[in-house]
Chains A and B, each alone.
Chain A
Amino acid sequence: MSLWEYANPKKFMQTSAAILPYTAGLTAICLVVGLVWGFFFTPDDFRQGSTVKIIYLHVPSAMMAINIWVMMLVTSLIWLIRRHHVSVLAAKAAAPIGVVMTLIALFTGAIWGQPMWGTWWEWDPRLTSFLILFLFYLGYIALWSAIENSDTAADLTSILCLVGSVFAVLSRYAANFWNQGLHQGASLSLDKEKNVADVFYQPLLFCLAGFVLLFVTLLLLRTRTEIRTRRLLALRLRERQAA
Protein backbone atom coordinates (compact mmCIF):
# COMPACT_ATOMS: atom_id res chain seq x y z
CA MET A 1 0.00 0.00 0.00
CA SER A 2 1.32 3.42 -0.96
CA LEU A 3 1.07 6.66 1.00
CA TRP A 4 -0.28 8.32 -2.15
CA GLU A 5 -3.51 6.29 -1.84
CA TYR A 6 -4.50 8.76 0.88
CA ALA A 7 -4.39 11.54 -1.70
CA ASN A 8 -7.60 9.98 -2.99
CA PRO A 9 -10.43 11.93 -1.25
CA LYS A 10 -12.60 8.82 -0.86
CA LYS A 11 -9.80 6.85 0.78
CA PHE A 12 -8.97 9.84 2.99
CA MET A 13 -12.61 10.17 4.13
CA GLN A 14 -12.80 6.46 5.00
CA THR A 15 -9.50 6.38 6.87
CA SER A 16 -10.04 9.64 8.74
CA ALA A 17 -13.53 8.55 9.85
CA ALA A 18 -12.00 5.42 11.37
CA ILE A 19 -9.14 7.31 13.09
CA LEU A 20 -11.09 10.32 14.44
CA PRO A 21 -12.76 8.73 17.51
CA TYR A 22 -9.36 7.51 18.77
CA THR A 23 -7.52 10.80 18.23
CA ALA A 24 -10.39 12.75 19.84
CA GLY A 25 -10.44 10.44 22.88
CA LEU A 26 -6.67 10.51 23.31
CA THR A 27 -6.65 14.31 22.93
CA ALA A 28 -9.16 14.70 25.75
CA ILE A 29 -7.24 12.30 28.02
CA CYS A 30 -3.81 13.91 27.42
CA LEU A 31 -5.07 17.49 27.75
CA VAL A 32 -7.09 16.84 30.90
CA VAL A 33 -4.27 14.86 32.56
CA GLY A 34 -1.55 17.34 31.52
CA LEU A 35 -3.40 20.55 32.37
CA VAL A 36 -4.96 19.32 35.62
CA TRP A 37 -1.64 17.81 36.77
CA GLY A 38 0.28 20.94 35.76
CA PHE A 39 -2.15 23.48 37.16
CA PHE A 40 -3.21 21.79 40.41
CA PHE A 41 -0.43 19.39 41.38
CA THR A 42 2.91 21.02 40.56
CA PRO A 43 4.78 23.34 42.92
CA ASP A 44 5.69 26.97 42.22
CA ASP A 45 9.11 27.67 40.76
CA PHE A 46 11.59 29.17 43.26
CA ARG A 47 12.20 32.18 40.97
CA GLN A 48 9.09 32.46 38.79
CA GLY A 49 6.49 31.60 41.41
CA SER A 50 3.14 30.35 40.08
CA THR A 51 3.75 31.86 36.61
CA VAL A 52 5.63 28.66 35.79
CA LYS A 53 2.18 27.07 35.30
CA ILE A 54 1.86 29.07 32.07
CA ILE A 55 4.49 26.72 30.58
CA TYR A 56 1.78 24.06 30.03
CA LEU A 57 0.06 26.33 27.51
CA HIS A 58 2.91 28.45 26.19
CA VAL A 59 5.43 25.77 25.19
CA PRO A 60 2.97 23.37 23.47
CA SER A 61 1.21 26.18 21.57
CA ALA A 62 4.52 27.72 20.46
CA MET A 63 5.78 24.31 19.36
CA MET A 64 2.59 23.70 17.39
CA ALA A 65 2.62 27.18 15.82
CA ILE A 66 5.98 26.36 14.20
CA ASN A 67 5.30 22.70 13.42
CA ILE A 68 1.93 23.42 11.80
CA TRP A 69 3.67 25.77 9.38
CA VAL A 70 6.23 23.03 8.63
CA MET A 71 3.37 20.59 8.00
CA MET A 72 1.78 23.18 5.67
CA LEU A 73 5.12 23.52 3.89
CA VAL A 74 5.33 19.76 3.28
CA THR A 75 1.74 19.47 2.02
CA SER A 76 2.17 22.60 -0.13
CA LEU A 77 5.28 21.08 -1.70
CA ILE A 78 3.33 17.88 -2.39
CA TRP A 79 0.70 20.02 -4.15
CA LEU A 80 3.29 21.92 -6.20
CA ILE A 81 5.12 18.74 -7.23
CA ARG A 82 2.40 16.07 -7.48
CA ARG A 83 -0.84 18.13 -7.70
CA HIS A 84 -2.72 16.15 -5.04
CA HIS A 85 -5.76 18.18 -3.98
CA VAL A 86 -6.10 16.57 -0.54
CA SER A 87 -2.60 17.74 0.41
CA VAL A 88 -3.26 21.39 -0.33
CA LEU A 89 -6.71 21.19 1.30
CA ALA A 90 -4.96 19.86 4.41
CA ALA A 91 -2.65 22.89 4.36
CA LYS A 92 -5.67 25.19 4.01
CA ALA A 93 -7.41 23.36 6.87
CA ALA A 94 -4.34 23.65 9.11
CA ALA A 95 -3.87 27.42 8.79
CA PRO A 96 -6.65 28.56 11.20
CA ILE A 97 -5.38 26.07 13.79
CA GLY A 98 -1.91 27.59 13.34
CA VAL A 99 -3.31 31.09 13.83
CA VAL A 100 -4.90 30.11 17.14
CA MET A 101 -1.73 28.35 18.34
CA THR A 102 0.42 31.37 17.44
CA LEU A 103 -2.04 33.71 19.14
CA ILE A 104 -2.00 31.60 22.31
CA ALA A 105 1.82 31.50 22.25
CA LEU A 106 2.03 35.29 21.82
CA PHE A 107 -0.61 36.01 24.46
CA THR A 108 0.71 33.61 27.10
CA GLY A 109 4.25 34.83 26.33
CA ALA A 110 3.21 38.45 26.91
CA ILE A 111 1.30 37.70 30.10
CA TRP A 112 4.23 35.60 31.38
CA GLY A 113 6.79 38.20 30.28
CA GLN A 114 5.19 41.10 32.14
CA PRO A 115 5.93 39.88 35.70
CA MET A 116 9.23 38.15 34.75
CA TRP A 117 10.81 40.65 32.35
CA GLY A 118 8.86 43.74 33.39
CA THR A 119 7.39 44.19 29.90
CA TRP A 120 4.55 42.72 27.84
CA TRP A 121 6.51 42.97 24.61
CA GLU A 122 10.07 43.45 23.44
CA TRP A 123 11.39 43.52 19.86
CA ASP A 124 13.43 40.47 20.69
CA PRO A 125 14.45 38.12 17.79
CA ARG A 126 12.20 35.26 18.85
CA LEU A 127 9.17 37.41 19.70
CA THR A 128 9.48 39.41 16.50
CA SER A 129 9.86 36.35 14.26
CA PHE A 130 6.82 34.84 15.99
CA LEU A 131 4.78 37.96 15.29
CA ILE A 132 5.83 37.82 11.63
CA LEU A 133 4.86 34.13 11.53
CA PHE A 134 1.42 35.13 12.89
CA LEU A 135 1.07 37.73 10.11
CA PHE A 136 2.08 35.09 7.54
CA TYR A 137 -0.70 32.82 8.81
CA LEU A 138 -3.21 35.67 8.40
CA GLY A 139 -1.84 36.45 4.94
CA TYR A 140 -2.10 32.79 3.94
CA ILE A 141 -5.78 32.63 4.97
CA ALA A 142 -6.53 35.99 3.32
CA LEU A 143 -4.92 34.84 0.07
CA TRP A 144 -7.08 31.70 -0.02
CA SER A 145 -10.24 33.82 0.37
CA ALA A 146 -9.12 36.45 -2.12
CA ILE A 147 -8.77 34.15 -5.14
CA GLU A 148 -11.82 32.53 -6.70
CA ASN A 149 -10.10 29.82 -8.74
CA SER A 150 -9.13 27.16 -6.20
CA ASP A 151 -6.15 25.78 -8.16
CA THR A 152 -4.66 29.26 -8.60
CA ALA A 153 -5.26 29.95 -4.90
CA ALA A 154 -3.55 26.66 -4.05
CA ASP A 155 -0.51 27.57 -6.19
CA LEU A 156 -0.11 31.06 -4.76
CA THR A 157 -0.70 30.06 -1.14
CA SER A 158 1.83 27.23 -1.55
CA ILE A 159 4.45 29.73 -2.70
CA LEU A 160 3.56 32.03 0.21
CA CYS A 161 4.02 29.03 2.49
CA LEU A 162 7.53 28.45 1.12
CA VAL A 163 8.46 32.09 1.81
CA GLY A 164 6.93 32.03 5.30
CA SER A 165 8.95 28.95 6.18
CA VAL A 166 11.96 31.21 6.70
CA PHE A 167 10.13 32.80 9.64
CA ALA A 168 8.96 29.45 10.99
CA VAL A 169 12.62 28.35 11.15
CA LEU A 170 13.66 31.74 12.56
CA SER A 171 10.96 31.49 15.27
CA ARG A 172 12.47 28.20 16.36
CA TYR A 173 16.15 29.14 16.23
CA ALA A 174 16.13 32.94 16.64
CA ALA A 175 17.28 32.75 20.26
CA ASN A 176 20.25 30.57 19.17
CA PHE A 177 21.14 32.58 16.03
CA TRP A 178 21.38 35.97 17.71
CA ASN A 179 22.02 34.94 21.28
CA GLN A 180 20.47 38.19 22.49
CA GLY A 181 17.09 39.48 23.61
CA LEU A 182 14.96 38.54 26.57
CA HIS A 183 13.71 35.14 25.49
CA GLN A 184 15.76 32.20 26.70
CA GLY A 185 16.69 29.19 24.56
CA ALA A 186 14.61 26.02 24.26
CA SER A 187 12.83 24.91 27.44
CA LEU A 188 13.14 21.26 26.47
CA SER A 189 16.49 19.60 25.95
CA LEU A 190 17.94 16.11 25.88
CA ASP A 191 20.66 17.50 28.13
CA LYS A 192 19.28 16.96 31.65
CA GLU A 193 21.11 20.04 32.94
CA LYS A 194 19.35 22.34 30.46
CA ASN A 195 15.92 20.66 30.55
CA VAL A 196 13.16 21.86 32.87
CA ALA A 197 12.94 19.99 36.20
CA ASP A 198 11.17 16.61 36.10
CA VAL A 199 8.34 17.88 38.29
CA PHE A 200 7.37 20.31 35.50
CA TYR A 201 8.56 18.14 32.61
CA GLN A 202 6.27 15.16 33.18
CA PRO A 203 2.91 17.01 32.98
CA LEU A 204 4.38 19.11 30.16
CA LEU A 205 4.90 15.92 28.13
CA PHE A 206 1.17 15.16 28.46
CA CYS A 207 0.31 18.70 27.36
CA LEU A 208 2.65 18.44 24.37
CA ALA A 209 1.03 15.14 23.35
CA GLY A 210 -2.42 16.67 23.92
CA PHE A 211 -1.70 19.66 21.68
CA VAL A 212 -0.28 17.43 18.93
CA LEU A 213 -3.33 15.15 19.10
CA LEU A 214 -5.69 18.14 19.20
CA PHE A 215 -4.06 19.40 16.03
CA VAL A 216 -4.37 15.99 14.32
CA THR A 217 -8.04 15.72 15.31
CA LEU A 218 -8.92 19.24 14.18
CA LEU A 219 -6.88 18.81 11.00
CA LEU A 220 -8.75 15.63 10.05
CA LEU A 221 -12.13 17.26 10.80
CA ARG A 222 -11.30 20.44 8.89
CA THR A 223 -9.80 18.59 5.91
CA ARG A 224 -12.96 16.47 5.69
CA THR A 225 -15.00 19.68 5.63
CA GLU A 226 -12.75 21.16 2.92
CA ILE A 227 -13.17 18.02 0.79
CA ARG A 228 -16.96 18.17 1.19
CA THR A 229 -16.99 21.90 0.37
CA ARG A 230 -15.00 21.23 -2.79
CA ARG A 231 -17.36 18.43 -3.80
CA LEU A 232 -20.38 20.65 -3.18
CA LEU A 233 -18.90 23.44 -5.32
CA ALA A 234 -18.07 20.95 -8.10
CA LEU A 235 -21.62 19.52 -8.08
CA ARG A 236 -23.19 22.99 -8.16
CA LEU A 237 -20.91 24.01 -11.04
CA ARG A 238 -21.76 20.85 -12.97
CA GLU A 239 -25.49 21.48 -12.48
CA ARG A 240 -25.16 25.11 -13.59
CA GLN A 241 -23.28 24.02 -16.72
CA ALA A 242 -25.88 21.36 -17.50
CA ALA A 243 -28.76 23.86 -17.17
Chain B
Amino acid sequence: MPDLGKYAFEVSMAYVVSLSLLGVLVAVTLAKGRKVRAQLRAFEEARKEANEKA
Protein backbone atom coordinates (compact mmCIF):
# COMPACT_ATOMS: atom_id res chain seq x y z
CA MET B 1 0.00 0.00 0.00
CA PRO B 2 1.50 3.37 -0.98
CA ASP B 3 1.80 6.11 1.61
CA LEU B 4 -1.12 8.42 0.79
CA GLY B 5 -0.21 10.91 3.51
CA LYS B 6 -2.83 13.32 4.78
CA TYR B 7 -5.17 12.61 1.82
CA ALA B 8 -5.45 8.86 2.51
CA PHE B 9 -9.17 9.06 3.30
CA GLU B 10 -10.07 11.03 0.16
CA VAL B 11 -8.03 8.85 -2.21
CA SER B 12 -9.20 5.56 -0.63
CA MET B 13 -12.84 6.66 -0.70
CA ALA B 14 -12.58 7.65 -4.36
CA TYR B 15 -11.24 4.20 -5.27
CA VAL B 16 -13.56 2.18 -3.01
CA VAL B 17 -16.74 3.97 -4.10
CA SER B 18 -15.87 4.10 -7.82
CA LEU B 19 -14.78 0.47 -8.05
CA SER B 20 -17.85 -0.60 -6.05
CA LEU B 21 -20.14 1.28 -8.45
CA LEU B 22 -18.43 -0.34 -11.44
CA GLY B 23 -18.66 -3.75 -9.73
CA VAL B 24 -22.40 -3.31 -9.12
CA LEU B 25 -22.90 -2.24 -12.74
CA VAL B 26 -21.08 -5.33 -14.05
CA ALA B 27 -22.94 -7.64 -11.62
CA VAL B 28 -26.37 -6.21 -12.49
CA THR B 29 -25.59 -6.44 -16.23
CA LEU B 30 -24.55 -10.09 -15.96
CA ALA B 31 -27.45 -11.06 -13.67
CA LYS B 32 -30.08 -9.41 -15.87
CA GLY B 33 -28.56 -10.97 -18.99
CA ARG B 34 -28.61 -14.43 -17.42
CA LYS B 35 -32.20 -14.02 -16.21
CA VAL B 36 -33.58 -12.88 -19.58
CA ARG B 37 -31.68 -15.61 -21.45
CA ALA B 38 -33.13 -18.26 -19.12
CA GLN B 39 -36.66 -16.84 -19.50
CA LEU B 40 -36.39 -16.78 -23.30
CA ARG B 41 -35.02 -20.32 -23.41
CA ALA B 42 -37.78 -21.61 -21.10
CA PHE B 43 -40.45 -19.89 -23.18
CA GLU B 44 -39.10 -21.23 -26.47
CA GLU B 45 -38.83 -24.78 -25.09
CA ALA B 46 -42.37 -24.65 -23.73
CA ARG B 47 -43.62 -23.44 -27.10
CA LYS B 48 -41.69 -26.17 -28.90
CA GLU B 49 -43.20 -28.84 -26.62
CA ALA B 50 -46.68 -27.42 -27.15
CA ASN B 51 -46.18 -27.49 -30.93
CA GLU B 52 -44.96 -31.09 -30.85
CA LYS B 53 -48.01 -32.18 -28.83
CA ALA B 54 -50.42 -30.36 -31.14
Contacts and interface: CB of A to CB of B under 8 A. Distances in A.
B7 A50 contact: yes
A96 B40 CA distance: 23
Contacts of B25: 96-97, 100, 218
Interface string A197-229: 000000000000000001000100110110011
Contacts of A224: 33
Interface in B18-38: 18, 21-22, 24-26, 28-30, 32-33, 36-37
Interface stretch (A84-92, A101-109, A174-182): A101-109
A150 B29 CA distance: 21
Contacts of B29: 218, 221-222, 225
B3 to A, nearest CB: 8
B36 to A, nearest CB: 5
Interface stretch (A126-134, A159-167, A187-195, A232-240): A232-240
Interface string A123-153: 0000000000000000000000000000000
B37 A111 contact: no
A225 B36 contact: yes
B2 A40 contact: yes
B26 A107 contact: no
Contacts of A232: 36, 39-40, 43
For B2, B5, B6, B24, which residue has the most chain A Cβ atoms within 10 angstroms? Answer: B2
Contacts of B37: 225, 228
A110 B41 CA distance: 45
A86 B47 CA distance: 25
Given A49-B5, A235-B44, A235-B47, A112 B30 contact: no
Contacts of B4: 50, 53
A44 B22 contact: no
A228 B10 contact: no
Return the 10 tightest CB-CB contacts between A and B, nearest first.
A50-B4, A225-B33, A57-B18, A54-B14, A104-B18, A108-B14, A100-B25, A51-B7, A228-B36, A50-B7
Given A51-B11, A53-B4, A218-B26, 20 more contacts: A39-B2, A40-B2, A50-B4, A51-B7, A51-B10, A57-B14, A57-B15, A96-B25, A107-B18, A111-B10, A112-B10, A112-B14, A115-B7, A115-B10, A218-B29, A222-B29, A224-B33, A228-B33, A228-B36, A232-B39
